Amino acid sequence: MKHHLARGRQEPRRIGNAAMVVTMLLSLCVLTYIKARYCSTPFPKAAEEMEVVEIDEDYDSTRYKITGPIGEEDYDPSRPTCYETSKRSERCAAVGDIRVDGNHSKIYISPLDKEWKTKPYARRHDAVAMDDVREFTLVPFGGANDTAVPPLCTRNHSVPAFLFSSGGFAGNLYHDYTDVLVPLFTSTNHFGGEVQFLLSGIKDWWLDKFTPLFRQLSRFDVIDVDNDQEVHCFPRIFIGATFHRAMGIDPARSPGGVTVADFKRLLRRTFRLERAVASRTGAPRRDKPRLLIISRKSSRRFLNERAMAHAAALAKFDVRIAEPDNHTDMPNFARLVNSADVMMGVHGAGLTNMVFLPSRAVLIQVVPFGGLEWLTRVTFKDPAKDMDVNYMEYNVSLDESSLRELYPRDHFYLKHPYDVHKKGWDAIKTVYLDKQNVRLNLTKLTNTLEEARNILP
Ligand SMILES: *[C@@H]1O[C@H](CO)[C@@H](O)[C@H](O)[C@H]1NC(C)=O
Ligand SMILES: *[C@@H]1O[C@H](CO)[C@@H](O)[C@H](O)[C@H]1NC(C)=O
Ligand SMILES: *[C@@H]1O[C@H](CO)[C@@H](O)[C@H](O)[C@H]1NC(C)=O
Ligand SMILES: *[C@@H]1O[C@H](CO)[C@@H](O)[C@H](O)[C@H]1NC(C)=O
Ligand SMILES: *[C@@H]1O[C@H](CO)[C@@H](O)[C@H](O)[C@H]1NC(C)=O
Ligand SMILES: *[C@@H]1O[C@H](CO)[C@@H](O)[C@H](O)[C@H]1NC(C)=O
């Protein structure tokens, strides 16, 4: 089953496409989050609530703390130049005379035992994903038997280089965090900003989206290594990030002992998220917890979203509905998520936004019909623990699923989901992920929300 998740990225990639949409419940206005400030609403508190996310100008100049010595743990001469940090990631480390000729995907290194080839993206087990990742060749020069003639340096750097790729799934938030950002944090936080990022596979919108985060990790602008005509020279280089587990970090193995809690702190600082801890009474000056419903436009839609929002409002939740996508204004969306105490959504990449939730907030993953526990566990249930988010699930029964209308009651797909799983990922994806929408039972929803409220601090 190990390829299943790998290819799972294809489905959430399709979510929605307009700018981020936030629906202010009952006010019936659909506006961007920023505009929501000006939306006329029957809730007089709405404008005030937005203050929770006011920007503190001082944050800009503050960098995240340095947690360890620079690069020390990173270079162990007894290890091969390139080695696996897990089944999912290979990483190379070298010290010496290093010349990066990005335009030709070559890194000239002296001394180096032999030529190596590597793809700097933490998804080695997934051939489909790796196809989109550019391969770099490490070329030895200067040794007795080396024949390569390295190019002359046109830019000399005194800090180490860190080369990575945004990968083929850029834009799927789950993959952005799992395959790129968490491993990047694990591998570079301890440099304390003294590192030059070389990024391959750049898409401008993607780079723009995460630049605030990169700025926290490096005090230099990211170099687009695929399209740069310079020869950049460094005293050391790291290629590819360390991977521990999906959206997780094993502090026993991370430089400086960093944890996911440190990563969340970094995000809070990057996006100026003020709320550290969730609360049963919501943010200050509110008297109820906020429920954020993560909406989806194509597959796995909530068919009764408005009714759900209404039921939640009756259960005394302050409700927001939002759908993030590639072009969502990240800082604002992050602040919206951070303002929530409970976040709920059908299994999909949008739930990755839990990285912005305050501690002890509740994530409710709505699990579509079809025996998908294993998928929902590895993607969000297990990571939630590391994130200090309380995890709950809402299992969709057949009665709540649109599959009921597609197939007769005794259909193979409805009676034997695990046998469908045996046919492989494409079958699972087509039958249970792409073609299913859900209509939640409002009584069950209200009960679930009550339970969530009771878990909140
Ligand atoms: C997000 O970006 C990916 C990669 O470019 C693209 O395939 C996908 O369609 C985009 N999604 C949206 C919602 O625009
Ligand atoms: C970049 O590399 C390609 C071939 O790999 C070459 O055709 C092109 O001239 C190079 N560009 C520059 C400016 O060196
Ligand atoms: C160079 O190649 C020769 C012959 O293959 C070998 O004996 C020698 O050890 C090599 N030297 C180095 C420094 O690798
Ligand atoms: C970079 O450093 C090397 C070695 O010190 C020197 O020969 C070269 O001129 C420098 N290049 C630039 C562009 O500063
Ligand atoms: C959802 O289903 C899984 C698998 O059957 C089960 O382990 C879990 O307890 C269920 N959760 C709820 C809240 O019913
Ligand atoms: C909705 O859920 C409640 C509580 O779980 C249950 O008693 C009721 O039968 C469900 N309603 C429908 C229409 O399935």
Structural domain of residue 207, as residue ranges? 71-271
| CA separation for the pair 316, 448 (Å, rounded) | 13
Query: In this predicted structure, what is the pLDDT of residue 375?
Result: 93
* Residues whose CB is less than 8 angstroms from the CB of residue 142 and which lie 6 or more positions away in sequence, other chains included: 97, 110, 111, 150
Q: Report whether the peptide linkage leading into residue 111 is cis, meaning its omega lies within 30 degrees of zero.
A: yes
Query: In this predicted structure, what is the pLDDT of residue 32?
Result: 27
In a domain, 196, yes or no: yes
State pLDDT tens for residues 203-237.
Answer: 999 999 999 999 999 999 999 999 999 999 999 99
Residues 130 and 224 in one domain: yes
Residues 206 and 250 in one domain: yes
| Per-residue pLDDT at 155 exceeds 70 | yes
In a domain, 209, yes or no: yes
pTM attached to this predicted model: 0.83
Residues 341 and 236 in one domain: no
| Per-residue pLDDT at 249 exceeds 50 | yes
| CA separation for the pair 67, 330 (Å, rounded) | 26
| Per-residue pLDDT at 9 exceeds 80 | no
Ligand 2 centroid distance, CA of 206 (Å): 24
Query: In this predicted structure, what is the pLDDT of residue 1?
Result: 35
pLDDT bracket for residue 74 (50, 70, 90): low
Looking at per-residue pLDDT, the higher value among 232 and 46 belongs to 232
Answer for the pair 308, 342: CB distance below 8 angstroms, yes or no.
Answer: no
State pLDDT tens for residues 436-452.
Answer: 999 999 999 999 999 99
Q: Report CA 422 to chain centroid distance, whole Å.
A: 29
State pLDDT tens for residues 128-142.
Answer: 899 999 999 999 999
Average pLDDT in the 92-101 region? 96
Answer for the pair 282, 358: CB distance below 8 angstroms, yes or no.
Answer: no
Residues 258 and 303 in one domain: no
Residues 383 and 315 in one domain: yes
Tokens 């051939």: give the residue.
127
Residues 43 and 82 in one domain: no
Give which of 357, 309, 360, 322 is closest to 337, Cα–Cα: 357
Residues 36 and 84 in one domain: no
State pLDDT tens for residues 278-331.
Answer: 999 998 888 999 999 999 998 999 999 999 999 999 999 999 999 987 777 889
The last residue of one of the domains, among 242, 271, 300, is: 271
- Indicate if ligand 4 lies below 6 Å from the C-beta of 153: yes
Mean per-residue pLDDT over the chain, rounded: 84
Give which of 217, 215, 203, 184 is closest to 65, Cα–Cα: 217
Answer for the pair 136, 213: CB distance below 8 angstroms, yes or no.
Answer: no
Residues 129 and 202 in one domain: yes
The dihedral sign for the CA sequence 404, 409, 411, 412: positive
pLDDT bracket for residue 253 (50, 70, 90): confident
| Per-residue pLDDT at 250 exceeds 70 | yes
Residues 250 and 132 in one domain: yes
| Per-residue pLDDT at 457 exceeds 90 | yes
Average pLDDT in the 356-380 region? 96
Q: Which ligand is nearest to the CA of 328?
A: 1
Answer for the pair 240, 118: CB distance below 8 angstroms, yes or no.
Answer: yes
Query: In this predicted structure, what is the pLDDT of residue 70?
Result: 39
In a domain, 30, yes or no: yes
- Ligand 2: atom nearest CA of 104 is 5
| Per-residue pLDDT at 30 exceeds 90 | no
Looking at per-residue pLDDT, the higher value among 43 and 277 belongs to 277
Average pLDDT in the 68-81 region? 62
pLDDT bracket for residue 71 (50, 70, 90): very low
In a domain, 77, yes or no: yes
Average pLDDT in the 360-375 region? 97
Q: Count up the domains in the chain and report the number.
A: 3
In a domain, 194, yes or no: yes
Looking at per-residue pLDDT, the higher value among 85 and 367 belongs to 367
In a domain, 206, yes or no: yes
In a domain, 14, yes or no: no
Ligand 3 centroid distance, CA of 145 (Å): 6
- Ligand 1: atom nearest CA of 169 is 4
Residues 340 and 370 in one domain: yes
Measuring from each residue's beta carbon to the nearest atom of ligand 1, which residues come in under 6 Å? 13, 15-17, 170-171, 325-326
| Per-residue pLDDT at 261 exceeds 90 | yes
The SS3 of residue 204 is helix
Measuring from each residue's beta carbon to the nearest atom of ligand 2, which residues come in under 6 Å? 103-104, 229
Q: Determine what percent of the chain is predicted with pLDDT higher than 90.
A: 74
Ligand 4 centroid distance, CA of 93 (Å): 22
In a domain, 280, yes or no: no
Q: Residue 450: which CATH number?
A: 3.40.50
